[in-house]
A and B are shown apart, each in its own frame.
Chain A
Amino acid sequence: MLRKIAVERAYGPLVEGEALVSEEGFSPRYDLDRWTGVITKHGHKLEGLSIVDKVCFFPTAKGGIAAGWAFYDIKWKKIAPKAFIFGVTNPVMVQGAVFAGIPITAGWSPQPRGVVRTGDWVRVDPARRTIEVLR
């Protein structure tokens, strides 16, 4: 059976990519090395993993206003993820992702736990507000 997640809000074109699923929130300023795309914040649950070209699942957004430029910056450096999938997000993440042209979604049902694992291949369809696990 096709594993599927419905999202409440979504922006961007349809994309497919490898899932990176986090149980901890994310800030491109607090957690990410903005030159390599690797999560370097000491103690972060994804410490040492790269977000480059991944479909990133994060339960919450962390951080302040400065995050708004950061997504454009990592896109410019060609180390952006394919999409950001948030449980709860804030305006800065959305403004930043739209500015960089990176697909972003917020709100999910059911929760990713049990549906999608890191390494799965997923399709994010913002127009239909769905995420499908393809393999």
Chain B
Amino acid sequence: MELTSEERAILAGERGEAQQRALEYQVEVGRFWGAKRFVPVSNVHMMGDIEVMGDGGLAWLKDTAARGARCRVATTTNARCVDFAHCERLGQNAIEVGKERELIATLRRMDVVTTDTCINYQTVYQPHLGEHVAWGDTGTVIYANSVFGARSNFESGPAALAAGITGRTPEYGFHLDEHRRGTFAVQLNAKLDDLADWGAVGKLVGESHQDYFAVPVFHGFHRIPTADELKHLGAALASYGSMGMFHFVGVTPEAPAKLPPEGMTVGDREIEAVYAGYNLGDGDARLVVFSGPQQSLLEMKRLAELFRGRKVQGSCFVTTNSAVLAQSRDLGYAQAIEQAGATILQGVCFYILQDLSPMRERNRWKNMVSNSAKIVNIIGAHRFNTILRRTADCVEIACSGKLQ
């Protein structure tokens, strides 16, 4: 790689051991991908909690902090595995909860801003066209690349933290023009009235084109989509297809004037087939989840409208971040959701909750119903049978106890 004098100084240890180690690691990753140089990043978003890191990761983090590691650019954290206000009631292991507190304190010592959100792009930081950032989880990356026209690869926890410490990332993948061009076209001939419909589009397109470097170009839609709709589309594309970018003609800043030749069409029939494709098992309707990604304020408003005056039969979880939750309380949305018997969890995502498998066994949950195509896909390792339903249908299932 071509290194600047500053980068050579860092590698020589002139900026301390923490920066040196972080840059050495980044050089190896950059070499693998054939990166020619580093690009400066202005914002970092990292995943780091005890469920994903384990004891080894926590030990490494404490050691790194002790070596003087501090983030040079604003570095925020993704959703985590414990909401301390609810961990006892959820039966999460007290020892692991203690480690999570230790982990958060260590990150703060390194000047990491523990926002604990996977919707940083809606609530914390909105990069501009062409801005290089180092983000993860995948839903944040695809939103940054596609909707803002910013530039990021999927940056895992250690890679994002290294970028925070050195203020740069290797230039490969979506930092380069050549990987940002659309590779196939998708005509949208469907109504897509609900957020779950957008996730279903992401499932259909992602499953059939699984490739980090595949970039779909959506066109032909009858109206302008909302931010929450693009959020569910992107999260599902990233989850089912491992994709990091899409274009939407007339909507996203880098959408091409000319469509790529290869194409597919998604209509109402294909969307209905997605919903019809789930095995309902024994009809267990005792777990409904609104999570993955966390809910925006406008999603909270809609849930409040749907839940107002109703009663949840089994268990229902809604996850969001502290900022959205505070505003939802001010506006009465949170109260309406909680009065219906749903539990709002702050700063977490349902699928990475510490001790989720034992929780499932204790509650004898079999099915998990959600309006998020992403969580329906990724929670499989915890052996839930998962079912995607539209938002209003999810609320109806939660309150009637009947799955259809």
Q: Is B83 an interface residue (CB 8 A)?
A: no
Complex Cα gap A86–B159 (Å): 20
- State whether B154 touches A91 (Cβ < 8 A): yes
Known contacts A30-B381, A73-B54, A73-B56; A65 and B29 CB within 8 A of each other = no
Most buried by B among A29, A31, A68: A68
Binary per-residue interface labels of chain B (169-207) against chain A in the complex, 1 for a CB within 8 Å, 0 otherwise: 000110000000000000000000000000000000000
- Interface presence of A61 (CB below 8 A): yes
Chain A: CB-nearest residue to B242:
A90
A95–B155 CB distance below 8 A: yes
What total of chain B residues lie within 8 Å of the partner, measured CB to CB? 41
Q: For residues 35 through 66 of chain A, which have their beta carbon under 8 Å from a beta carbon of chain B?
A: 41-42, 60-62, 64-66
Contact A76 B54 (CB under 8 A): yes
Is B173 within 8 A of A70, CB to CB? Answer: no
Query: Chain B: which residue is nearest A76 at the CB level?
Result: B56
Residues from chain A with a CB closer than 8 A to the CB of B242 are: 61-62, 90
Least Cβ distance of B120 to chain A in Å? 13
Name the B residues within 8 Å of A99 (CB-CB): 25, 156, 158-159
Q: CB-CB < 8 A to A29: which residues of B?
A: 381
Q: A17 interface residue, CB < 8 Å from B?
A: no
Please give the distance in Å from A78's CB to the nearest CB on chain B.
10
Taking the complex as formed, is B352 at the interface, i.e. its CB lies under 8 A from any CB of chain A?
A: yes
In this assembly, does B371 line the interface, its C-beta being within 8 Å of a C-beta of chain A?
no
- Residues of chain B within 8 A (CB-CB) of A135 are none
Place the interface of chain A in its size category. Answer: 35 or more
Decide yes or no whether A67 CB sits under 8 A from chain B.
Answer: yes
CA gap between A24 and B366 in the complex, in Å: 26
Contacts A42-B383, A98-B32 hold; do A69 and B156 have CB atoms under 8 A apart? yes
Nearest-neighbour CB distance to chain B for A63, whole angstroms, equals: 8
CB distance from A3 to the nearest CB of B (A): 25
> In the complex, which residues of chain B have a beta carbon less than 8 angstroms from the beta carbon of A92?
136, 154, 156, 159
Residues of B within 8 A of A10 (CB): 32
B296 to chain A, nearest CB (A): 20
- Does B34 sit at the interface, judged by CB under 8 A? yes
Segment 1-55 of B: residues with Cβ below 8 Å from A: 25, 28-29, 31-34, 47-48, 52-55
**B78 and A65 contact, CB distance less than 8 A:** yes
Residues of chain A at the chain B interface (Cβ within 8 Å)? 9-11, 29-31, 34, 41-42, 60-62, 64-70, 72-73, 75-77, 88, 90-92, 94-96, 98-99, 104, 106
Known: A42-B383, A68-B156. 10 other contacts (CB 8 A): A11-B32, A29-B381, A30-B378, A62-B242, A64-B137, A64-B154, A69-B53, A69-B54, A69-B158, A72-B53
Which B residues have a C-beta under 8 Å from some C-beta of A?
25, 28-29, 31-34, 47-48, 52-57, 59-60, 78, 136-138, 153-159, 172-173, 210-212, 238-239, 242, 352, 378, 380-381, 383
